[in-house]
């Protein structure tokens, strides 16, 4: 009798029955629709003491809330001997909001101190709540300001040596802004009144010359800041125009606040901190983006760099590169890609951005630093795995094609609906699989789409609406779970490779 | 080979005393031929999804769990809690075994800019890349052909000699030419590709073709003769343009549409010509294959017959 009653209970009743209304972060939810969204995107977890929940630098696509128990937060600074304890998380506190909201890697590691009971919310549901519930968003932002902002600011070279007391003052004075792609943040020649920190997204800076030609001065993403150099140089006006290249979250630090922090010798203080800002000192690599930033600082004279800028390659991570002096156009890469996918749809096309006379960036997922597909998905169908690889969650995809239209490289394809039935969901076993003893080795498995998409309608987990699934979006999954990357593994001429951006410029001189 | 060079045995002749030499060269040549043919097996086993590696796939969750645990290990390395390279590798391999990913992932150590051990994860690639198999195929093939020459002495006196030596020579020569063509060919084709790559030209050509077929179907409903002329015509005559304009509704709008259709035809022809030009280069690059592949199959069949006949008679 109880099961049918439970099935009929409204999301709000269920929300209250489970005691979620007493969890501080959820207490502010007022709308029935929001509670319904939350209830569909929620999962419960139990954790033993000592277990690592989140590792610094890795991606998590969920918001985590501690229901019971204690967890410790640790952060390892680049040159530190040991991790620094960043405080404990008690029942009612949460973590992972930065990753879930802004696609940033985790700033801290979280470890269970005692046995933990947790609840997690899918990124898409969390984003929906953040957008629709003002009080909820305010709570998240204030919590970000009080707990995470300090760690965030600390990784910016400008504030690395700032004393704790000054950093605390700074925390209270900054404001947050979220801008859509293509929005101008600051115009060349306008009065500069703030320093900006890019929390998530990407910003490019262009300078118009006297003859009207535009020159790219630089790129800013992933905790990069801009504006301080202008202030340090005593400039009161922006030297270039700053424009968002993707949906971007910014932390805005009013110039006056910085001047107050620097004290009477303001300009010298800013100059010394601004001098810290260089890619070398930041360490690490942001893939193609950093290469382009370096290229921009050296004048972008190389044709390759110019082409990559035009092709928006700045947003990409590691690229799949075809060496045209080796490629005999035998199509083995595409055929082997087809072979490892149940739906027989290749995730790779040999057409792409030709970055030089010898190299082409093949059209296969770049696993972007700024995954516009993921940011545009409202169904939680795209996520990052812990290492940052972009992954499609097959069951959540409703075939809305928003990822297809938002992908800057046109590498996402829709599977053909007429071919997609549950009848072809499982791969057909080979007759060799029937052989005794060795048969198991011939069991065909498929890296992606281990079940093919079903067409028709289904109730979506997050929206609760009946969605008409006209097909599913597919893209390169790096042959997940396989001991090889099929295209690279099967190229007879070693013409195709997934390479780090540095390898694209073997001379080591970008822009030269 | 040393015996042959020292003159102790006569290449290609098989008197009673030289049986051991002939058997050795024969069997080793056969083994090398089989190894060379294994490249084809490896290639098609993958293409058709029958390679044993396909059964080694692990769940994404297991891969992610392994990566997460390796992340914790990396943190221990970064904080110098773990410095011994042997211990690091052992711990990393244990993680891969525990998560069931040892068959698909392997770990190796490098050194980062700060001199700390850098734990890298790569795929196991258990059967090695196709490129290595191709290289091995070339060397095994060359070795097999050399042994076949020592074994048979390039004797063309018997039908079997003609078939085996002829086919061996054909496979060898076509293979060597193929090797040279595959080394130089990509450069030729890349040079020949001006604004369009061969793949782009192919896609564009099919796109125009679909549009022209659709337009032709529309014209057919108005004027079947004109629809036929539409795809068959070379340079359009004034009369043809006039008739096309009339079929498109007449007046200024009809004339504009007729001009668009003619432009579409022109673009299609240009792309088709470009594609044809690039296809010629690609064909030239692969021209050796229609000789090499059938000759290899025939050679394999002839070798089987030769071995069986020696065995039986």
For the segment A187-194, the average pLDDT, to the nearest whole number, is 84
- How distant is the Cα of B122 from the closest Cα of chain A, in angstroms? 9
Q: Is A57 on the interface with B (CB under 8 A)?
A: yes
Give A-chain residues touching B124 at CB under 8 angstroms: 483-484
pLDDT (0 to 100) of residue A295: 57
Res. B129 pLDDT band, cuts 50 70 90: very high
pLDDT (0 to 100) of residue A266: 43
Smallest Cβ–Cβ distance between A386 and the set B68, B81, B182 belongs to B68
Q: Which residue of A has its CA nearest to B132?
A: A492
Which of A302-306, B260-264, B278-282 is modeled with the greatest confidence? B278-282
Give A-chain residues touching B119 at CB under 8 angstroms: none
Alpha-helix residue ranges (DSSP H) falling in A191-349: 228-232, 255-262, 266-275, 279-282, 288-297, 303-310, 332-339
| Lowest-pLDDT choice from A7-16, A64-73, A254-263 | A254-263
> Given an 8 Å threshold on Cβ–Cβ distance, is A490 in contact with B203?
no
**A157-284 has which fold?**
Jelly Rolls (2.60.120)
Q: Is A293 on the interface with B (CB under 8 A)?
A: no
Report A:337-396 residues touching B (Cβ under 8 A): 339-340, 349-351, 354, 357-358, 360, 385-387, 391
- Residue A375: CB partners within 8 Å, gap ≥ 6? A103, A246, A247, A406
Report A:105-144 residues touching B (Cβ under 8 A): 109
**A2-132 has which fold?**
Jelly Rolls (2.60.120)
- How distant is the Cα of B271 from the closest Cα of chain A, in angstroms? 16
- How distant is the Cα of A74 from the closest Cα of chain B, in angstroms? 11
- Residue environment code for A167-179, b if the CB has 16+ CB neighbours within 10 A, otherwise e: eeebbeebeeebb
Domain A157-284 in the same topology as domain A2-132? yes
Q: What is the CA radius of gyration of chain A?
A: 25
> Given an 8 Å threshold on Cβ–Cβ distance, is B49 in contact with A447?
no
Token duo for residue A489: 């593994």
> Given an 8 Å threshold on Cβ–Cβ distance, is B186 in contact with A335?
no
pLDDT (0 to 100) of residue B38: 93
Token duo for residue B276: 């044809």
Smallest Cβ–Cβ distance between A482 and the set B62, B64, B104 belongs to B104
Token duo for residue B48: 């058709």
Q: Which residue of B has its CA nearest to A284?
A: B113
Q: Is A444 on the interface with B (CB under 8 A)?
A: yes
Domain boundaries, chain A: 2-132, 157-284, 303-504
Q: Which residue of B has its CA nearest to A360?
A: B197
* Measured CA distances, B313 to A79, A285, B4, B152 (Å): 78, 70, 26, 18
- How distant is the Cα of B146 from the closest Cα of chain A, in angstroms? 24
What is the residue-wise DSSP string for A371-415?
Answer: -HHHHH-SSS-EEE-TTS-EEE-GGG-----HHHHH-TT---EE-
For the segment A264-273, the average pLDDT, to the nearest whole number, is 46
Share of chain B above pLDDT 70, in %: 93
For the segment A276-284, the average pLDDT, to the nearest whole number, is 34
Q: Which residue of A has its CA nearest to B102?
A: A483
Contact B247, B222 (CB under 8 A): yes
Contact A97, A143 (CB under 8 A): yes
> Given an 8 Å threshold on Cβ–Cβ distance, is A52 in contact with B134?
no
| Lowest-pLDDT choice from A315-324, B13-22, B133-142, B287-296 | B13-22
| Lowest-pLDDT choice from A77-81, A222-226, A474-478 | A77-81
> Given an 8 Å threshold on Cβ–Cβ distance, is A354 in contact with B134?
no
pLDDT (0 to 100) of residue B290: 94
* Measured CA distances, A232 to A156, A198, A226, A275 (Å): 16, 19, 11, 9
Res. A447 pLDDT band, cuts 50 70 90: very low
Q: How far apart are CA A421 and CA A451, in angstroms?
A: 10
Smallest Cβ–Cβ distance between A387 and the set B47, B62, B67 belongs to B67
Token duo for residue A92: 């009612």
* Measured CA distances, A432 to A175, A427, A438 (Å): 64, 14, 8
pLDDT (0 to 100) of residue A280: 31
Region label for B109, one of left (φ > 0), alpha (ψ between -120 and 50) or beta (otherwise): beta
pLDDT (0 to 100) of residue A466: 63
Indicate the angle between helix axes B289-312 and B19-47, nearest 10 degrees: 130
Res. A292 pLDDT band, cuts 50 70 90: low
Give Dmax over CA atoms of chain B in angstroms.
96
For the segment A1-24, the average pLDDT, to the nearest whole number, is 72
Contact A377, A404 (CB under 8 A): no
């Amino acid at each position: 009798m109880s099961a049918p009653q439970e099935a009929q209970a409204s999301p709000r009743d269920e929300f209250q029955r489970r005691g979620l209304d007493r969890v501080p972060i959820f207490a502010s939810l007022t709308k029935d629709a929001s509670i319904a969204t939350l209830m569909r995107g929620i999962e419960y977890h139990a954790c033993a003491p000592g277990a690592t929940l989140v590792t610094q630098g890795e991606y998590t696509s969920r918001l985590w809330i501690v229901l019971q128990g204690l967890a410790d937060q640790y952060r390892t600074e680049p040159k530190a001997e040991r991790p620094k304890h960043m405080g404990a998380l008690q029942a009612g506190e949460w973590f992972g909001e930065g990753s879930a909201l802004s696609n940033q890697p985790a700033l801290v590691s979280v470890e269970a101190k005692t046995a933990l009971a947790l609840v997690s919310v899918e990124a898409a549901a969390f984003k929906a709540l953040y957008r629709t519930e003002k009080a909820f968003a305010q709570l998240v932002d204030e919590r970000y300001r009080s707990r995470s902002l300090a760690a965030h600011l600390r990784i910016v070279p400008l504030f690395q040596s700032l004393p704790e007391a000054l950093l605390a003052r700074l925390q209270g004075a900054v404001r947050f802004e979220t801008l859509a792609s293509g929005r101008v943040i600051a115009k060349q020649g306008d009065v500069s009144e703030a320093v900006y920190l890019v929390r998530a997204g990407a910003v490019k800076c262009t300078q118009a010359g006297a003859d009207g030609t535009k020159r790219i001065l630089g790129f800013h993403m992933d905790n990069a800041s801009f504006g301080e150099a202008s202030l340090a140089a005593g400039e009161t006006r922006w030297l270039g125009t700053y424009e968002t290249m993707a949906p971007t979250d910014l932390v805005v630090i009013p110039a006056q606040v910085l001047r107050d922090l620097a004290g009477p010798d303001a300009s010298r203080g800013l100059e010394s901190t601004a001098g810290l800002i260089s890619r070398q000192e930041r360490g690490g690599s942001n893939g193609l983006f950093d290469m382009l930033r370096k290229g921009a600082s050296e004048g972008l004279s190389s044709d390759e760099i110019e082409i990559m800028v035009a092709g928006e390659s700045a947003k990409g991570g590691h690229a799949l590169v075809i060496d045209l002096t080796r490629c005999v156009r035998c199509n083995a890469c595409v055929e082997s890609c087809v072979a490892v996918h149940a739906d027989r749809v290749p995730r790779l096309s040999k057409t792409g951005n030709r970055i030089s006379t010898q190299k082409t960036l093949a059209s296969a997922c770049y696993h972007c630093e700024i995954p516009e597909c993921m940011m545009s998905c409202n169904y939680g169908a795209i996520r990052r795995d812990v290492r940052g690889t972009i992954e499609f969650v097959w069951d959540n995809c409703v075939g809305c094609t928003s990822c297809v239209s938002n992908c800057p490289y046109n590498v996402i394809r829709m599977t053909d609906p007429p071919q997609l039935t549950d009848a072809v969901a499982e791969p057909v076993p080979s007759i060799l699989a029937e052989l005794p003893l060795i048969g198991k080795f011939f069991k065909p498995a498929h890296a992606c789409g281990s079940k093919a998409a079903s067409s028709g309608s289904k109730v979506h987990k997050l929206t609760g609406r009946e969605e008409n699934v006209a097909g599913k979006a597919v893209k390169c999954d790096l042959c997940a779970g396989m001991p090889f990357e099929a295209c690279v593994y099967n190229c007879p001429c070693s013409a195709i490779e997934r390479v780090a951006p540095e390898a694209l410029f073997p001379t080591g001189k970008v822009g030269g | 080979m040393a015996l042959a060079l020292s003159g102790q045995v006569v290449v290609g002749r098989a008197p009673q005393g030289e049986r051991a030499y002939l058997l050795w060269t024969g069997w080793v040549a056969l083994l090398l031929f089989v190894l060379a043919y294994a490249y084809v097996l490896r290639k098609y086993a993958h293409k058709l999804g029958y390679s044993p590696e396909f059964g080694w796939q692990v769940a994404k969750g297991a891969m992610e769990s392994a990566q997460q645990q390796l992340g914790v290990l990396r943190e221990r390395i970064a904080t110098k809690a773990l410095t011994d390279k042997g211990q690091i590798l052992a711990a990393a391999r244990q993680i891969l075994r525990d998560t069931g990913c040892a068959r698909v992932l392997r770990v190796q150590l490098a050194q980062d800019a700060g001199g700390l051990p850098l734990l890298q994860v790569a795929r196991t690639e258990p059967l090695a890349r196709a490129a290595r198999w191709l290289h091995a195929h070339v060397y095994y093939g060359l070795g097999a052909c050399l042994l076949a020459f020592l074994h048979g002495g390039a004797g063309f006196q018997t039908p079997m000699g003609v078939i085996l030596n002829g086919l061996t020579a054909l496979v060898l020569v076509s293979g060597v030419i193929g090797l040279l063509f595959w080394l130089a060919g990509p450069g030729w084709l890349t040079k020949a590709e001006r604004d369009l790559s061969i793949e782009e030209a192919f896609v564009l050509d099919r796109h125009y073709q679909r549009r022209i077929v659709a337009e032709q179907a529309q014209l057919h409903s108005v004027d079947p003769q004109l629809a036929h002329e539409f795809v068959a015509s070379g340079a359009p005559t004034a009369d043809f343009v006039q008739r096309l304009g009339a079929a498109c509704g007449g007046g200024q709008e009809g004339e504009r549409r007729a001009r668009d259709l003619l432009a579409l035809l022109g673009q299609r022809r240009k792309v088709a010509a470009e594609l044809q030009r690039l296809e010629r280069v690609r064909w030239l690059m692969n021209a050796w294959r229609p000789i090499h592949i059938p000759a290899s199959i025939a050679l394999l069949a002839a070798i089987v017959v030769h071995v069986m006949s020696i065995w039986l008679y």
